[in-house]
Structure 1
């Protein structure tokens, strides 16, 4: 099994954690924005099928 040869510095690990947190924050903002656009009907880049509107359609 591979083991690290040296200890990772605090600044490097904090930098990696900050980068991960920033990316997660940006993705969450994007998801919330997309959800808002679906709710308001302004979505242009997402294919969304509303199951409630299609309940009366017979095959």
Structure 2
């Protein structure tokens, strides 16, 4: 799979990566339709995880 991905042109690689990212975001955000209430502890964990991801993304590779 990796060999195939590396063999296609970079513009297609970028397009596929963008579509994959969009699909994963849509899948994750669609979970909101399945739950009417969220446990406060779970909500705090999810907020903490999101904050950690944002902090990690702000430092990035230097």
User: Is the radius of gyration larger for structure 1 or structure 2?
Assistant: 1
What TM-score do the two structures reach when normalised by structure 1?
A: 0.47
What TM-score do the two structures reach when normalised by structure 2?
A: 0.45
State the structure with bigger RCO (CA 8 A, min sep 6), 1 or 2. Answer: 1
